[in-house]
A and B are shown apart, each in its own frame.
Chain A
Amino acid sequence: MANIDIDAPGTSQLLIGNEAIARGALEAGIGFAAAYPGTPSSEILGSLAQAAKEMGIYAEWSVNEKVAMEAAAGASFAGIRALASMKQNGINVVSDFLANLVMSGIGKGGLVLISCDDPSAISSSNEQDTRPIAKWLDIPLVEPGDFQEAKDMTKWLFDLAEELGTLCMLRSVTRIAHARGNVKLGELPKKQLKAYFDQIHDLKSVMPTTFMPIPSPLRHFFLHMKMDKAREKFEGSAFNRYVGPNKADLLIITCGSCWLYSQDAVKALKLEDRVGILKLGTLWPLPEKFIGEHLDKSEKLLFVEEIDPFLERSVMEMVANLPPSSPRPIFYGKRSGHVNAYGELNPDLVIKAISTILGLAYQPRDIEYRKKAEAFAKSNVPERTMTFCAGCPHRATFWAIKNALKLDGRGGVVTGDIGCYSMALGPTGFFQVRTMHCMGAGAGVANGLGKLGQFGFDQPVLAVVGDSTFYHATIPALINGVYNQSDFILVILDNSATAMTGFQPHPGTGMTAMGEPTKVVSMEALCCSLGTHVEVCDPFDLKGTIATLLEMMAEGGGAKVAIMRRQCELVRAKKEKPPYRVHVDPEKCIGEACGCDRLCTRVFLCPGLIWDKKANRSKIDEVTCTGCGLCVDVCPQGAIIKEAV
């Protein structure tokens, strides 16, 4: 919807935080952006890539976050302002490079890292706060409190990075990154960028310019000097402010989306005259002077932040260093149990914390109504478990895996990975997946399982991985399996897109982030080059796929590869009409009388095929069915009929 490169300074646009960040980067005159997709960060690079040609910049989907950050650093070394963006897990992937980069310093082009955390792990495997890495590795850190700040802070951060000569980081959370709000646009720069790796930057120096972390103790000392300078800058930043009375019954210290929740909560409780809010935008190094000036606002301090007690602990450290005569506030927050140290927060949780501390009652709606509404919802709202979409090729793959493992009969184990197919931990993938951790971990874990033969282990091992995850983090694990002769089958679910995060292209798609055709990095050629057995199946050919998996499980001889190739249904449906019109023949379907025990609906669980209880028959839901025709092969009675459209 939003074009982040519209040249309309002064107008207000409804942008998601990620688009606001991307716009901020454009306004800062960025030349280079790189990322790996990951919710809730993907739209930053996505929208920059869309605007790239028009704006004369470069944007890429890198193969993983580490390469993205390194590529962005390369641009910075040649004087180009650059950005790398990622979700919290990406920070783990890139941390080795970061730990060296902070020592080496950046080039003449400002370098900014955007980290989007996902409190409650709504679209993640894990919940993780990335702010501590800023403290751990000495990286100046900011966090926007609304959508306007997401843009303005990003823009400012490039200036700061250049002035300090160090990487700067912006942390965002789902409810900024993926929520929408008003953003007033600024000017877009019109200057031409010129890249040059200046090898002798200082005529007085005999040494050429080098970017390296050694000599490390000295570099570390310089880094601390940069952090001191950053702190000075932060003390006067307009992104930090106090709202509330001069003397308050309670002082909230907050940042990020919790700034919005805190304001909502204070308004809902009508406590504007009793509760003050100290909103921090620059988080690390802590602007201690600024905070110190407001500490006497109240004897009670409440920390409202997601996920870890980052500000809470940092302010505690700060207070511990104050002279003995200073006031000692009472701390409320995660340590005291007034705010959860897990999961995302919301206005209600902040209302609860404030009312508990101040001993207030809060009743947003009539109690009788509430009881009735909750009772109606409780008794009438069925569960709605996440599912593969109707027509999804993963349903076919896991159906084939389930049946192949059953026929093999040795209790085969499936290790899983990160993507839509992680849902195979649940009913939509017939509970086939047994392990799930980080990107590439499924194949890594399979390497261990596949070497346990000497201990009597004879269960077949299948590691399922998506196409994008294969390129991202699985190739070293596959090489390890071939080299060390670990017995597992790497099952690559190739749906030709990074589907979970919004269908971004990857090295196997022949398309770049900017929509240019490029070389296809063929996964089968790559796997074949390792000298191992590689098969390509169409998972919709259930019989053939089951037979291939069975043969490969019987084989032995180190890691092998089975590629399940069929395009993501959502991508296909955007381009083509459904291939079939599907219906259930009510004469042939014999309902509960059939020995199949409702295989098609009770077990196969495609949302496009429903159970008509009254008629005691299966039935196609024409609104949801995508006409893939796979269920035709599942029905033992041949009662599901497909007709080519």
Chain B
Amino acid sequence: MTKKQLVKDPLNLIITGVGGQGNVMISLIIGNAFVREGYFVTLGETYGASQRGGPVMSHMRISKETQYSPFIPDGCADIILGMEPVETLRMLGRYGNPNVITIINPRPIYSIDVIGGQAEYPDLHKLVESVKELSAKTWIINATEEAQKMGSHMFANAILIGALVGSGVLPLDKKSVEPVLREVFSKEIEVNLEAFNNGIKLVKR
């Protein structure tokens, strides 16, 4: 079997969500898996707000040729992994294009602006429809809900990694991601591997 190739060089991946959701961890796992496969990876992360409930995004640029900058230019995302629906739409507004592929966890995290009543959280159904309309392809993965069934919402991250890998949009397979998962989740590896495999199943359903 020949190794899968990048469909585009650089491949621009955005991982987005809310501070505290585990955005940085997902990007680290995917990024490390790529570096071990011999790719150049540049990874830019929003820090500062990363643990204070602000919007967070990681920009990943994957290339066989060179080290790109840690910023994806506007309108140039290839794949968006959205851990939260509103944040996914925020990213599409700036980085989306007619070819973008999205994988979205539709579980809202309310901002204090919404909680306080200064802002309104959009209707979830309409929100997901907008994401679909702006994407060439959308996978909806109920990662939080599935994770809660497994005992904790924390497993949503491994589910989403599974969905990203299982979707086939990246030239990465299960075998190249698993060893990195084992290093990162050294304590709760079995249940996280199960979540990862669930993610693969969910995206293929």
Query: When chains A and B are docked, how far (Å) is the Cα of A126 from the Cα of B200?
Result: 45
B94 CB-CB contact with A under 8 Å:
yes
**A611/B115 in contact, CB under 8 A:** yes
Type the 1/0 row for B131-158, where 1 means its CB is closer than 8 Å to any CB of A: 0011000000000100000000100000
**B98/A598 in contact, CB under 8 A:** no
**B111/A347 in contact, CB under 8 A:** no
Query: When chains A and B are docked, how far (Å) is the Cα of A178 from the Cα of B27?
Result: 13
**A605/B112 in contact, CB under 8 A:** yes
Residues of A within 8 A of B66 (CB): 263
Q: Pick from B18, B69, B97: contact of A364, CB below 8 A.
A: B97
Query: When chains A and B are docked, how far (Å) is the Cα of A261 from the Cα of B122?
Result: 35
Type the 1/0 row for B28-66, where 1 means its CB is closer than 8 Å to any CB of A: 100110010010111111111101111100000000001
Within 8 A of B (CB), among A141-195: 146-148, 174-175, 178-182
**B69/A386 in contact, CB under 8 A:** no
Q: Pick from A182, A264, A383: contact of B111, CB below 8 A.
A: A383
A369 CB-CB contact with B under 8 Å:
yes
Q: Is the interface of A mostly helix, strand, loop or mixed?
A: mixed
Residues of A within 8 A of B32 (CB): 1, 14
Type the 1/0 row for B74-103, where 1 means its CB is closer than 8 Å to any CB of A: 111000000000110110111011100000
Most central of A148, A178, A376, A386 by chain B CB within 10 Å = A376
Q: Pick from A180, A346, A372, A380: contact of B42, CB below 8 A.
A: A180
**B49/A377 in contact, CB under 8 A:** no
Query: When chains A and B are docked, how far (Å) is the Cα of A146 from the Cα of B94?
Result: 26
Residues of A within 8 A of B49 (CB): 122, 386
Within 8 A of A (CB), among B100-115: 107, 109-115
B5 CB-CB contact with A under 8 Å:
no
Residues of A within 8 A of B31 (CB): 14, 180
Type the 1/0 row for A224-259, where 1 means its CB is closer than 8 Å to any CB of B: 000000000000000000000000000000000100
Given the interface pairs A14-B43, A260-B67, A380-B127, the reply to whether A373 lies near B86 with Cβ below 8 Å is no
Q: Pick from A39, A174, A607: contact of B115, CB below 8 A.
A: A607
**A380/B126 in contact, CB under 8 A:** yes
Nearest-neighbour CB distance to chain B for A499, whole angstroms, equals 9
**B118/A383 in contact, CB under 8 A:** yes
B191 CB-CB contact with A under 8 Å:
no
**A364/B70 in contact, CB under 8 A:** no
B119 CB-CB contact with A under 8 Å:
yes
**A373/B134 in contact, CB under 8 A:** yes
Query: When chains A and B are docked, how far (Å) is the Cα of A356 from the Cα of B111?
Result: 39
Residues of A within 8 A of B112 (CB): 385, 387, 427-428, 605, 607
Most central of A348, A383, A384, A603 by chain B CB within 10 Å = A384
| A420 nearest in chain B by CB position | B52
**B96/A380 in contact, CB under 8 A:** no
Residues of A within 8 A of B53 (CB): 384, 386-387, 389, 607
A100 CB-CB contact with B under 8 Å:
no
| B31 nearest in chain A by CB position | A14
**B86/A380 in contact, CB under 8 A:** yes
Query: When chains A and B are docked, how far (Å) is the Cα of A374 from the Cα of B114?
Result: 21
Query: When chains A and B are docked, how far (Å) is the Cα of A385 from the Cα of B96?
Result: 23
Query: When chains A and B are docked, how far (Å) is the Cα of A171 from the Cα of B117?
Result: 43
B171 CB-CB contact with A under 8 Å:
no
| A374 nearest in chain B by CB position | B93
Query: When chains A and B are docked, how far (Å) is the Cα of A379 from the Cα of B86?
Result: 11
Within 8 A of B (CB), among A349-366: 351, 364-366
Given the interface pairs A14-B41, A377-B90, the reply to whether A384 lies near B111 with Cβ below 8 Å is yes
Residues of A within 8 A of B113 (CB): 382-385
Q: Pick from A122, A180, A372, A374: contact of B41, CB below 8 A.
A: A180
Residues of B within 8 A of A181 (CB): 40-43, 67, 70
Q: Pick from B40, B45, B48, B127: contact of A179, CB below 8 A.
A: B45
**B44/A179 in contact, CB under 8 A:** yes
**B115/A175 in contact, CB under 8 A:** no
Query: When chains A and B are docked, how far (Å) is the Cα of A420 from the Cα of B68?
Result: 32
**B75/A1 in contact, CB under 8 A:** no
A609 CB-CB contact with B under 8 Å:
yes
Query: When chains A and B are docked, how far (Å) is the Cα of A611 from the Cα of B121?
Result: 11
A388 CB-CB contact with B under 8 Å:
yes
| B93 nearest in chain A by CB position | A377
**B119/A387 in contact, CB under 8 A:** no
Query: When chains A and B are docked, how far (Å) is the Cα of A339 from the Cα of B52?
Result: 31
Nearest-neighbour CB distance to chain A for B84, whole angstroms, equals 9
Most central of A388, A423, A601 by chain B CB within 10 Å = A601
**A381/B67 in contact, CB under 8 A:** no
B190 CB-CB contact with A under 8 Å:
no
**B69/A347 in contact, CB under 8 A:** yes
Residues of A within 8 A of B55 (CB): 384
Within 8 A of B (CB), among A14-63: 14, 39-40
A268 CB-CB contact with B under 8 Å:
yes
Residues of A within 8 A of B47 (CB): 39-40, 122-123, 174, 178
Given the interface pairs A14-B41, A182-B67, the reply to whether A122 lies near B48 with Cβ below 8 Å is yes
A273 CB-CB contact with B under 8 Å:
no
**A376/B68 in contact, CB under 8 A:** no
Within 8 A of B (CB), among A588-645: 598, 601-603, 605-607, 609-611, 621-624
Nearest-neighbour CB distance to chain A for B200, whole angstroms, equals 23
Most central of B40, B47, B120, B144 by chain A CB within 10 Å = B47
| B59 nearest in chain A by CB position | A179
**B98/A382 in contact, CB under 8 A:** no
**B94/A377 in contact, CB under 8 A:** yes
Given the interface pairs A182-B41, A607-B53, A607-B110, the reply to whether A376 lies near B89 with Cβ below 8 Å is yes
Q: Pick from A384, A570, A611: contact of B51, CB below 8 A.
A: A570
Nearest-neighbour CB distance to chain B for A299, whole angstroms, equals 27
**A364/B76 in contact, CB under 8 A:** yes
Residues of A within 8 A of B45 (CB): 178-180
Query: When chains A and B are docked, how far (Å) is the Cα of A181 from the Cα of B98?
Result: 28
B168 CB-CB contact with A under 8 Å:
no
**B51/A179 in contact, CB under 8 A:** no
**B40/A366 in contact, CB under 8 A:** no
A199 CB-CB contact with B under 8 Å:
no
Q: Pick from A12, A263, A373, A427: contact of B96, CB below 8 A.
A: A373
Given the interface pairs A122-B48, A123-B48, A387-B53, the reply to whether A257 lies near B35 with Cβ below 8 Å is no
A13 CB-CB contact with B under 8 Å:
yes
Given the interface pairs A347-B73, A364-B97, A373-B96, the reply to whether A146 lies near B67 with Cβ below 8 Å is yes
B169 CB-CB contact with A under 8 Å:
no
Q: Can you name 11 A-B pairs with beta carbons within 8 Å?
A: A364-B97, A365-B97, A366-B97, A377-B94, A381-B122, A383-B118, A384-B55, A384-B113, A387-B112, A602-B116, A622-B153
The 7 A-B pairs of least Cβ separation, nearest first, read A377-B93, A123-B48, A365-B75, A260-B69, A382-B119, A179-B70, A364-B75
Q: Other than the known A372-B134, A383-B113, A386-B53, what 13 A-B pairs have Cβ atoms closer than 8 Å?
A: A12-B38, A14-B41, A122-B49, A179-B42, A179-B70, A264-B68, A369-B96, A369-B134, A373-B134, A377-B92, A377-B94, A381-B90, A420-B52
